[in-house]
Amino acid sequence: MIYVGDGTSDIPCFSVLNEEQGVAIGVNKMRSAADWAQESSITQGQRVVNLAPADYREDSELMQSLVLALEGIGKQISLRQLSVGE
């Protein structure tokens, strides 16, 4: 699962995703990543794999993050299927 969150209210979801090997991506609508991080004391298990600007254009960092997350999950699935197919 891939989860995109935009604030500290999403931290519980980030924790679940990290525990279950999902991908948590943060969307930063504030001035800087430091501003976002200052809102709450975030533990390692609550962190996102990337904190990208809230830019939904095709060539944005957020869209690149989503594509990489999808590709990564797809490769994990393919890797697991290699041993099943024989």
**Residue pLDDT, tens place only, 9-60:** 888 898 898 899 899 998 987 655 565 555 555 555 567 888 889 999 999 9
* 3 state SS of 81: helix
Locus of tokens 């930063």:
28
Q: Please tell me the pTM assigned to this model.
A: 0.75
CA distance 82 to 86: 7
CA distance 68 to 66: 5
CA distance 30 to 53: 8
Dump pLDDT digits (tens) for 24-38.
Answer: 998 987 655 565 555
Spatial contact of 60 and 52, defined as CB atoms under 8 Å apart: yes
